[in-house]
Structure 1
């Protein structure tokens, strides 16, 4: 069984994520379609695409997403908003449909509402699917309005004795803005997205809009579910392999039962390898790529906090020192990551300060040479310009661990 080194894995993944060199605007569908780009917090996908195709302006990104609709935003892996090519909706939506006896992604929290209503999940999902064609031809502003509008559409379908409970204040978060029915809808929007019934429309200021897949794309979602699932697993393994079924389950945010079902659909296309003595899998088609990794024309990267590259579940590949992981991956508001040849060597933040412009702070865990610092300064200034803000200052802070060895 082939043993792959951490360096080989890093090099391969950089190329798979299109971070090995600068890509052109014509490559955008392939770049975005590698594994999708999370858009939570809003704007995260723009930063991710900028890091791969720096020549693409935000206006061009919006044109591709909102006007040409080459790209599409919908709830996808882990129930998060994800931007992906509309032509690949099968892999990013239909493949996530739960099978018999499998819980749907992102719906575990609905249990409180179901207990309060004394109603079952499948009945409510069926009723929501029944009313969602009313989204056709409509554009609803804000997630709160979407939840409550659909809850009102569902109300006549409920048994009369459940309607008062449906309209009670929500037991989640904001009872002054959401009803129990609105909370139920919020959880069920993920399954309905995977069924091709609801997508994001054009953003209006700070608020998203929502409509039906059919209205936005111009046709219903049609997909061969098994082939769509195989393609999803291929995408995952190409971007995050070597991997295991459990890592895939974590990345997808699904149940073990669903994850293993999907994994098995593509199992014949995989082969085992060894990583630090442990068994994992790659796509057989990627074998040569690991053996002969592409040359890197970009060694230093300034990635956004929710870049797909940082979504590697075997985090020791990105940063071997586990004591640093909490500085990279937080419960909320991840900082950006400073990456050198595939390893995270520090974190960064960029904050607009009044009329002064963007203040960028970079914290490094290992001392780096002048060339790397100059490149980081250039990347910081370019990112601020991409956001339409002048870069007022870039501050470096080096916090070296006693066992850290300078290497960049």
Structure 2
């Protein structure tokens, strides 16, 4: 069995994530569709695309998402907002729909509300689906307004004895702003997204807007019979060598669902050894993995939720596990400074009234390369149409 070392894996993934060099604008569908681009915090997808494409401004990106609508934002893997090609909606949405006796992604936390209401998941999802066509005719600003508007729509569909419970304060941390019904809707919106019933519209200031897939793209979502296969292939191509367990973690789905999806492409896979353990690759990727191209860019300044950093085997990117908590946090990850695909430091930016301040932490002395990193910071700030106030190290 072929043994693959960490450096080869990093170089392979730099290439499959389109980070080995910047490409032209006509590559955008392939780049956004490689494995999707998470958009939390808002703007994360813009930073990810900036690191992969040359000559693409913020205005260009907004046009792709909001005017041309060749890109689409919707809740996808792990229930996160993700930007992907509209033409691959079945892969990034329909493929997440669970099979028989499989749980929906991002709905595990709903159990407290279901117990409180003494109502089953499927019944509440069915009632919400009756209300979702409202979005075919309107756009709703802000997630909290969306939750509560839809919760009010579900209310008359509930048994009389459940309505006061539905309107009770939420048990999920915001009882002054959210009802139990609003919390239930919040969880159930992910299944609705996978069914093509809700997508993100154009952002208004700091507020997202929401409408239906049909309203936004003037067509209904058409599930593809091989959508799950395509999604697993994307995962293997971008994150291989890998395992079904890593697929479950990346998708946020049950191991049962991940195993079902994995088995659908099992004939296309080949085992390899990584750090003495068995992992799998697409057979067609073997030559590239064994002899990956050298990147044209040695240094990269990635945003905190860049797809490249979404690897489940984090030791491949950063061998010192004591530093992992500095890179991958529960919320608000910092950006990562990469040298030849390996994380060598972190960075954060802070918006001020007159521009942006950047703070960097490098774990080893990089004095000889410091100017190269500073140049990347300046390039990023120009992209953001801001003024660089200072770099703190």
- Both proteins in one fold, TM over 0.5: yes
Q: Which residue of 2 aligns with 1:404?
A: none
Structure 1: 4+ residue segments shifted above 4 A = none
1:378 aligns with 2:375: yes
Structure 1 residue 169: deviation in Å? 1.3
Q: Which residue of 2 aligns with 1:362?
A: 360
Instruction: State the Cα deviation string for residues 326-378 of structure 1 (Å, max 9, x = none).
Output: 111111111110000010000011112332x22212111122252x2221111
CA distance in 2, matches of 1:8, 1:251: 22
1:330 aligns with 2:319: no
SS in 1 for 2:293: coil
Q: Which residue of 1 aligns with 2:202?
A: 202
Q: Give the alignment's TM-score, normalised by structure 1.
A: 0.95
Structure 1 residue 176: deviation in Å? 1.6
Q: Which residue of 2 aligns with 1:108?
A: 108
SS in 1 for 2:301: strand
Q: Which residue of 1 aligns with 2:41?
A: 41
Structure 2's unaligned 5+ residue stretches are none
Instruction: State the Cα deviation string for residues 161-219 of structure 1 (Å, max 9, x = none).
Output: 11111111111121121111111100000000001110000000110000000111111
Q: Structure 2 matches for 1:3-402, cutoff 5 A?
A: 3-225=3-225, 227-355=226-354, 357-370=355-368, 372-396=369-393
Instruction: State the Cα deviation string for residues 250-292 of structure 1 (Å, max 9, x = none).
Output: 1111111111111111111110000011100000110111122
Q: Give the alignment's TM-score, normalised by structure 2.
A: 0.98
How many residue pairs end up in the alignment? 393
Moved more, 339-348 or 361-370: 361-370
CA distance in 2, matches of 1:201, 1:336: 27
CA distance in 2, matches of 1:262, 1:375: 43
